[in-house]
Amino acid sequence: MPYMEAVLSETLRLYPPALRFDRECQQDYQLTDRVIIPKGATVVVPVYAIHHSAENYEDPEKFDPER
């Protein structure tokens, strides 16, 4: 069953059920010395873009359950 789980995980990486997540910041959050996310701001997490980025995955368009 471990290989089946790897196949399922890789399938969800290539075809995520949600393309992005939007979240509202509940309090001021200091991300770095110069970047502060203010309370009430919408933060977008681009799931599809992250999963298809060559910066995060070698050959991101290839189906490879053994990743």
Q: What is the pLDDT of residues 4-63, one digit of tens each?
A: 999 999 999 999 999 999 999 999 999 999 999 999 999 999 999 999 999 999 999 999
Residue 61 lies in a domain: no
Residue 18 lies in a domain: yes
Q: So what's the pLDDT on residue 28?
A: 97
Q: Indicate the number of domains in the chain.
A: 1
Q: So what's the pLDDT on residue 2?
A: 95
Residue 57 lies in a domain: no
- Please state the pTM of the whole predicted model: 0.77
Residue 21 lies in a domain: yes
Q: So what's the pLDDT on residue 21?
A: 96
Provide the residue range defining the domain that includes 28. 2-51
DSSP letters, 8-52, are HHHHHHHS-S-S-EEEE-SS-EE-SSS-EEPTT-EEEE-HHHHHT
Residue 17 lies in a domain: yes
Residue 10 lies in a domain: yes
Residue 60 lies in a domain: no
